[in-house]
């Protein structure tokens, strides 16, 4: 005799238990307004970071030319660091009682990063696109860090400064140095 209890329950439909853009009450010593504001700002950074991660992976796959190997590895390393950052940001949203943006279609709706061409670009254009994305994220992160700090959300301020800004600045530096017009060998 077979038991039906080991059969997975397929095609489940559940009711939504929390809407995006809302926060639940958690005992984290922050007001509702502070947590709501922080979640809104973090979700924008999260969406932009997810797009940046995807750009890194796309450009990692499409690298070419004499520095292919070095850039292929560098972009994959940066993509991995962005993926870690994405998880950290999403967990902060959840910690504050919010809902982290996760569906790629929703991410595309709220990101402020422009969509790249579907095809491959020249290497300097791909690197410039990554630098511009970093700068956009950094501009917002600096502003957001100051604003959440004013509301007493030191945890989100620390995440934005210590993780988002420092990672972004370091990655931008590494990318920018590949766009310097310096000969590989002096004659």
pLDDT tens digits, 15-28: 989 999 999 998 99
Query: Is 70 part of a structural domain of the chain?
Result: yes
Domain-embedded: residue 17 = no
Q: Residue 44 sits in a domain of what CATH number?
A: 1.20.1260.10
Instruction: Flag whether 1 is in a domain.
Output: no
Mean pLDDT score across all residues of the chain: 94
- H or E element at residue 167: helix 166-176
How high is the pLDDT of residue 6? 85
d(CA 80, CA 163): 14
Domain for residue 34, yes or no? yes
User: Is 140 within 8 Å of 40 (Cβ atoms)?
Assistant: no
Residue 19 placed within a domain: no
pLDDT digits 0-9 by tens, 102-148: 999 999 999 999 999 999 999 999 999 999 999 999 999 999 999 99
185 is a domain residue: no
The H or E element that residue 132 is part of is: helix 123-150
Residue 172 maps to a domain: yes
Count of domains observed in the chain: 1
Task: Tell me what pLDDT residue 187 has.
Answer: 66
Range of the domain at 42: 29-179
Residue 85 to residue 81: CA distance in whole angstroms: 6
Q: How far is Cα 48 from Cα 144, in angstroms, rounded to an integer? A: 14
Q: CB-based contacts of 5: which residues, under 8 Å, 6+ apart?
A: none
36 dihedral zone (left: phi>0; alpha: psi -120 to 50; beta)? alpha
- The verdict on residue 140 lying in a domain is yes
pLDDT of residue 168: 98
- Inter-CA distances, 15 with 23, 104, 106, 152, 168, Å: 17, 21, 19, 34, 38
Better-predicted residue by pLDDT, 120 or 187 = 120
Entry pTM: 0.91
């Amino acid at each position: 005799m077979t038991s039906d209890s080991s059969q997975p329950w397929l095609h489940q439909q559940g009711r939504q238990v929390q809407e995006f853009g809302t926060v639940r009450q958690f005992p984290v010593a922050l007001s509702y307004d502070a947590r709501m504001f922080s979640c809104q700002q973090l979700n924008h950074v999260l969406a932009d970071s997810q797009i940046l991660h995807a750009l890194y992976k796309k450009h990692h796959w499409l690298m070419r030319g004499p520095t292919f190997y070095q850039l292929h590895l560098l972009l994959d390393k940066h993509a991995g660091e962005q993926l870690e950052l994405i998880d950290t940001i999403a967990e902060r949203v959840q910690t504050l009682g919010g809902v982290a943006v996760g569906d790629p279609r929703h991410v595309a709706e709220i990101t402020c990063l422009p969509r790249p061409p579907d095809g491959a670009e020249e290497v300097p254009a791909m690197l410039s696109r990554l630098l511009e994305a970093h700068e956009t994220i950094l501009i917002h992160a600096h502003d957001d860090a100051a604003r959440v700090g004013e509301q007493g959300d030191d945890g989100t301020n620390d995440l934005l400064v210590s993780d988002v800004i420092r990672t972004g600045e370091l990655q931008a530096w590494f990318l920018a140095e590949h766009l310097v017009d310096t000969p590989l060998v002096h004659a």
